[in-house]
Chains A and B, each alone.
Chain A
């Protein structure tokens, strides 16, 4: 899928994550997290795996993590993807495990 325009999901409150997706060439992830040293790799893996399921190959991702669990990151990223691709009304059940 193609990113049609910038979209944002999530908040900056504790245990949440704010994800901004915008048009880009290839996949680039900019991660801000106080737990980047411990969980940076894991957070990026969650993001890249989910982008792969949606077949998004060109996107700029800005992740501001406030200690979110993987399930929260997934939920916020799905919301951001749906907004950025204008597919809010077309649930892609296949990507959910």
Chain B
């Protein structure tokens, strides 16, 4: 048996791969979400395949005749070693619930599970370690807000301020996502700078665990209409695990009048978080009938319209944008 890297842009390999993937009941979503694909061959027959995107294993499939043996171990082992050679040691896999134990045999640990799927991880970092490194606070009424803050606006400021009034302590989790115009470290610093005066607000990095629900792969979900529910449920389960460790009993979200997807997400989140965590929806801040949004700020940046930006963001964010305007424009032009 040979294990090789396969090029999915080559129709010869793609056809073999597609056949194996679809026979195993997986759904091909988007080839852009694959960094590398490997195949295990018995003579000239593709009998197993697996891929990864960043540090997430994906599209694992084994021909039924070869299942239950060493092929699965070989496949996962090869993928982990390949990632290790690129200095990636913390690896995730999203899989059907029935495969949880197969991955646990290979040293993976459960992060969270929902009725549709399971999220596991292995390597040199874990959710347990993430939780142990978060600052701990005391209070009866601890709440949380999860935000991308790309960048931090007066709208975000308003949400945090409202939450701060209604809680003993508020954790603000800033989502790690380097695809954003503002880098993760910049977004965190701007949230910190813009909330400095609120002494019951703790700003922390969301790390690998407060990810945006849309990034969850869903190629193994048969019913496409279940995808949003699946993604929300898993997202909520991960959040619950962190909330439990930090005694968080409430999560605030902003109302989403313009984004139906986010509105659906908020609705399902509410159902899943209860009873451990209560979801409270806060109204968005408006300025003269104009709702503040980070999207509008990014649009104004691309037009170099500093006056428009000033309306939407606090002084701290404005100064950062003004100082780094050239660099931000370069990032926009480079496709961020």
Say yes or no for B105: interface residue by CB 8 A criterion.
Answer: yes
CB-CB under 8 A for A14 and B73, given A62-B107, A64-B107: yes
Q: Are A34 and B105 in contact (CB under 8 A)?
A: yes
Report the separation of the CA atoms of residues A91 and B123 in the bound assembly, to the nearest whole angstrom.
26
Say yes or no for B106: interface residue by CB 8 A criterion.
Answer: yes
Say yes or no for B299: interface residue by CB 8 A criterion.
Answer: no
Q: Are A64 and B106 in contact (CB under 8 A)?
A: yes
Say yes or no for B84: interface residue by CB 8 A criterion.
Answer: yes
Q: Are B107 and A32 in contact (CB under 8 A)?
A: yes
Q: Taking the nearest CB of chain B, how far is it from the CB of A19, in angstroms?
A: 10
Q: List the A side residues contacting B89 at CB < 8 Å.
A: 6, 8, 20, 22
For A11, A34, A60, which residue has the most chain B Cβ atoms within 10 angstroms? A11
Q: List the A side residues contacting B107 at CB < 8 Å.
A: 12, 18, 32, 62, 64
Chain A, Cβ-Cβ closest to B89: A6
Interface residues of B in 70-93 (CB under 8 A from A): 70, 73-74, 76-78, 80-81, 84, 87, 89
Report the separation of the CA atoms of residues A46 and B217 in the bound assembly, to the nearest whole angstrom.
40
Report the separation of the CA atoms of residues A5 and B89 in the bound assembly, to the nearest whole angstrom.
10
Q: Are A8 and B77 in contact (CB under 8 A)?
A: no
Q: Are A11 and B106 in contact (CB under 8 A)?
A: no
Q: Digitize B101-134: 1 where CB-to-A-CB distance is under 8 Å, 0 elsewhere.
A: 0001111000000000000001110000000000
Interface size class on chain A is 10 to 19
Q: Taking the nearest CB of chain B, how far is it from the CB of A65, in angstroms?
A: 9
Q: Taking the nearest CB of chain A, how far is it from the CB of B228, in angstroms?
A: 34
Q: Are B73 and A13 in contact (CB under 8 A)?
A: yes
Report the separation of the CA atoms of residues A70 and B105 in the bound assembly, to the nearest whole angstrom.
20
Interface residues of A in 51-72 (CB under 8 A from B): 60, 62, 64, 66
Q: List the B side residues contacting A8 at CB < 8 Å.
A: 80-81, 84, 89
Interface size class on chain B is 10 to 19
Q: List the B side residues contacting A62 at CB < 8 Å.
A: 107, 122-124
Q: Are A22 and B73 in contact (CB under 8 A)?
A: no
Q: List the B side residues contacting A6 at CB < 8 Å.
A: 87, 89, 123-124
Q: List the A side residues contacting B124 at CB < 8 Å.
A: 6, 20, 22, 60, 62
Report the separation of the CA atoms of residues A20 and B109 in the bound assembly, to the nearest whole angstrom.
15
Report the separation of the CA atoms of residues A60 and B104 in the bound assembly, to the nearest whole angstrom.
19
Q: Are B76 and A12 in contact (CB under 8 A)?
A: yes
Report the separation of the CA atoms of residues A6 and B76 in the bound assembly, to the nearest whole angstrom.
19
Q: Are B80 and A14 in contact (CB under 8 A)?
A: no
CB-CB under 8 A for A20 and B123, given A11-B81, A62-B107: yes
Q: List the B side residues contacting A32 at CB < 8 Å.
A: 104-107
Chain A, Cβ-Cβ closest to B75: A12
Q: List the A side residues contacting B104 at CB < 8 Å.
A: 32
Q: Are A18 and B105 in contact (CB under 8 A)?
A: no
Q: Digitize A1-36: 1 where CB-to-B-CB distance is under 8 Å, 0 elsewhere.
A: 000011110011110001010100000000010100
Report the separation of the CA atoms of residues A50 and B76 in the bound assembly, to the nearest whole angstrom.
27
Q: Taking the nearest CB of chain B, how far is it from the CB of A2, in angstroms?
A: 16
Q: Are B73 and A12 in contact (CB under 8 A)?
A: yes
Q: Taking the nearest CB of chain B, how far is it from the CB of A76, in angstroms?
A: 12
Q: Taking the nearest CB of chain B, how far is it from the CB of A40, in angstroms?
A: 14
Q: Are B123 and A18 in contact (CB under 8 A)?
A: no
Report the separation of the CA atoms of residues A66 and B123 in the bound assembly, to the nearest whole angstrom.
16
Given contacts A32-B107, A64-B107, 8 further A-B contacts (CB under 8 A): A5-B87, A11-B81, A12-B80, A20-B124, A62-B107, A62-B123, A64-B106, A66-B73
> What is A's interface to B at a CB cutoff of 8 Å?
5-8, 11-14, 18, 20, 22, 32, 34, 60, 62, 64, 66
> What is B's interface to A at a CB cutoff of 8 Å?
70, 73-74, 76-78, 80-81, 84, 87, 89, 104-107, 122-124
7 tightest CB-CB pairs across the interface, nearest first?
Answer: A64-B107, A22-B124, A12-B77, A8-B84, A11-B77, A6-B124, A32-B107
